[in-house]
Amino acid sequence: MTEPVSDAAVDPEIAAERAYLARARAALEWMRTDMATTETVQDSSEDADYTYVNRVLARDRERRAEELADLPNAPLFFGRIDYRPGAIFEPAPRTGTGSLPDTGPHAESGAAVGAGVPDPRSTTTADHVYVGRRHIHDADGVPLVIDWRAQLASSFYRASPAAPQGVQLRRRFGFDDTPELTAYEDERLVTEATPGGGDIVGGLLAEEIERPRSGPMRDIVATIQPEQDELVRVPLRPALCVQGAPGTGKTAVGLHRIAYLLYTERERLRQDGGVMIIGPNRAFLSYIRNVLPALGEVGVRQTTIEELVGHVPVRRLDESAAARIKGEVRMAEVVRRALWEQPAPLEDILVVERGARRWRIYPDELAETIAELRERDLAYANGPNLLTQRLAHLVMRQMENSGEACDSSTLTQLRRNRSITAAVRKMWPKADPVRLVLTLLTDAERLGRCAEGILGPEEQQTIMLPGRPRGPKSARWSVADLALIDEAAALIDRPSTMGHIVVDEAQDLSPMQCRVIGRRCTRGSLTVLGDIAQGTSPSAVSDWTTLLGHLGQPDARLAVLDRGFRVPAEIIDYAARLLTEIAPVLTAPVGVRHHEEALRISPVAGTDLPEAVVLASREGLKGAGSVGVVAADDHIDQLCTHLRTAGLEPALAGEHEAALESSRLVCVPASIAKGLEFDAVVVVEPVRIVDLTPRGLQQLYVALTRAVSSLHIVHAEELPAALAGESGSAESDWAGAAPAAGV
């Protein structure tokens, strides 16, 4: 790989690439104008239908023209791959009539772009294919830039010296903020072996990763790595599950995968209900919210499991024991029993009058009919209709047996018969999922009945709702309760499904939450992202096979990402010491970047701790980008206040939607640190994070792996055993550190 070249004055290549960029920009402008001004197809102003069609077409054109607007901050291309001359483009003379070549979702990789298509970038030495965020062609249909999702573009991401895929050279471009092309970096794939088997991180990639963080997550479309690209492009089905160490790009892969799937399967996904991404909390969703729009996708629902279930607001945190039991799959049967114990036969004979005659259905027949319906896998809400139908049939059969002439209208009349409809209402009461779970968790007798042989008496006691809520509104629901309510709701009426669901931080899902997602998923169209080592919820499972089973996707493809892009090797190696305790089955991740000074550990006296945090924060703020102070949830408010008193202006993550963007310094409760990242991180009193929750070590592992450039651990108490001892870090004894030093 060559050193990045960045001086336009001395490098004629940069001047040439800038000229090409200007040409692409002009072509995009032409595409936009063409889209906006081309006449609508139909033109018959007297015909109302045509007028309507014209309006629809015109609106569609306007929308597509808007999509073609030149985004001010996004370069039109970010890379180039070179093939031998004639491999991609035919060196035909320019005809001016070239048809639009197929570089779309289904175009063949590596095949010539199209017969008779002239190529402005085909030189005597190479065919140049430019890769960007969207396809751009000129007025003659000549492709100037291909969409990164086109099949041909996958070689930009995946070609390697070992498997060059016909690519001779890969060029990555660097841009300034305007965005003007200011640099390029070449990698020769055919003639030059890449040292380290292609595992090195190029200068522009390292620069991109280390670009100071401010605000939400950015897309990585220009620098997707081969192992990531492979996962972005796997087909819709079967389900894909990605186990990835912190910072290996799972979230990025999930988001780019959505953009890719929408490119290749847009219509199918739309017809199947659209695409949705489920994240762990609002802070995380706010952090990722800009990535899909930057990739041109605005119609993707981004939600948490709480919002997805809806029904009631969450107002309480369960004790761990209660959350664990409520999250277990055993609860599905308890809820099922609670719902299906509701239909019950009348104790008396059902008498149906028709004219002068009376027909009778006896309680045992009613019981048999209800039992038969219970056996069937039907949605509870469909029961009344079917029961009415069955009862009408029973009466009609009696009528026929007694010689009465019956036809289809007899059945219709019987179905409307008042005695029958009133009996059905009584026997098959309406069910409301919230009320059902409320009674189940407040009525010990009912819970005892439904949980018989499933939950022990102590477990039953543990999951009862606190207080004596009088109705669904006064009850203080927890997240775990929502999954029970959703289970009931889905038994009553099947929920609508989605074309594709991406679940991030999936390791934290309880089995009952997995069922919430699984039942909304169309035939295995699911991407599951997570890291078993970061499982912090009380009911998190410890292996993917079990979790995928609960999601209803036992045949999912399991892939592993283990090259860490976010966290420097010095930090990830240190944090990975915890793995033997929290996830012994996982191998330690490999950090692709090295920063010798990345890790610093400062033991201080207890009384000095708050000041030491101020000091560490100030130091972090000296660098560019964001600083995160992560501490135990019951400690963070106090630290935040202290930082404010010291004249710093930290935001508190989770306090409001835009907290992460409102200040360079952010205080983060450890419980919501997952998925976030900061240029510099200060982790305060690790042992306090560990002691606060049953999965405290996992919580600490999350906290330690949020840093892009530096991690500073400040502690007064002993470090957890796995982290104590030689770390190779710069260890400074801050006991008695003079806060007045004015750092």
Ligand X SMILES: Nc1ncnc2c1ncn2[C@@H]1O[C@H](COP(=O)(O)OP(=O)(O)OP(=O)(O)O)[C@@H](O)[C@H]1O
What minimum distance in Å lies between the beta carbon of 258 and ligand X? 13
What minimum distance in Å lies between the beta carbon of 472 and ligand X? 35
Options 247-255, 306-314, 425-433, 607-615: segment touching ligand X (CB under 6 A): 247-255
Nearer to ligand X, 371 or 558 (CB): 558
What minimum distance in Å lies between the beta carbon of 538 and ligand X? 20
Nearer to ligand X, 249 or 610 (CB): 249
What minimum distance in Å lies between the beta carbon of 681 and ligand X? 12
Examine residue 531 and tell whether it contacts ligand X (CB under 6 A): yes
User: b or e along 424-456 (b: 16 or more beta carbons within 10 Å of the residue's beta carbon)?
Assistant: beebbeebebbebbbebbbeeebbeebbeeebe
* Chain residues 172-231 in contact with ligand X, contact rule CB under 6 A: 205, 208-209, 220, 223-225, 228
Handedness of CA 25, 26, 27, 30 (dihedral sign): positive
Contacts of 52 (CB under 8 A, 6+ apart): none
* Chain residues 598-657 in contact with ligand X, contact rule CB under 6 A: none
Mask of contacts with ligand X, 661-700, x by CB under 6 A? Answer: --------------x-x-----------------------
Cα–Cα distance between 659 and 665 in angstroms, integer?
10
3-state secondary structure of 375: helix
Examine residue 251 and tell whether it contacts ligand X (CB under 6 A): yes
Return the H-helix or E-strand segment holding 368: helix 363-375
Nearer to ligand X, 229 or 318 (CB): 229
Nearer to ligand X, 345 or 591 (CB): 591
To the question of whether residue 326 is assigned a binding role by annotation, the answer is no
What minimum distance in Å lies between the beta carbon of 639 and ligand X? 22
Residue 656: left (phi > 0), alpha (psi -120 to 50), or beta? beta
Pairing outcome for strands 79-83 and 127-132: antiparallel
Options 147-155, 240-248, 476-484, 543-551: segment touching ligand X (CB under 6 A): 240-248
What minimum distance in Å lies between the beta carbon of 655 and ligand X? 21
With CB under 6 A as the contact rule, the residue among 565, 574, 678, 701 that binds ligand X is 565
Instruction: Write the single-letter amino acid at 735.
Output: A
Q: 430 and 328 in contact (C-beta within 8 Å)?
A: no
How does DSSP assign 497-564, residue by residue? -BSEEEESSGGG--HHHHHHHHTTBSTT-EEEEE-GGG--STT--S-HHHHHHHTT-TT-EEEEE-EE
Cα–Cα distance between 595 and 605 in angstroms, integer?
28
Q: What number of other Cβ atoms are within 10 A of residue 35's Cβ?
A: 17
To the question of whether residue 251 is assigned a binding role by annotation, the answer is yes
Q: Tell me the β-bridge partners of 740.
A: none
The tokens describing 308, both together, are 């997805």
Nearer to ligand X, 132 or 246 (CB): 246
What minimum distance in Å lies between the beta carbon of 213 and ligand X? 7
Nearer to ligand X, 220 or 713 (CB): 220
Pairing outcome for strands 240-244 and 557-561: parallel
Examine residue 571 and tell whether it contacts ligand X (CB under 6 A): no
Q: 326 and 487 in contact (C-beta within 8 Å)?
A: no
To the question of whether residue 246 is assigned a binding role by annotation, the answer is yes
To the question of whether residue 97 is assigned a binding role by annotation, the answer is no
To the question of whether residue 250 is assigned a binding role by annotation, the answer is yes
* Chain residues 705-724 in contact with ligand X, contact rule CB under 6 A: 705
The tokens describing 436, both together, are 């059902």
What minimum distance in Å lies between the beta carbon of 627 and ligand X? 16
To the question of whether residue 421 is assigned a binding role by annotation, the answer is no
- Which residues here bind ligand X, judged by CB under 6 A? 205, 208-209, 220, 223-225, 228, 244, 246-252, 531, 565-566, 675, 677, 705
Q: Which residues are annotated as a binding site for ATP?
A: 244-251
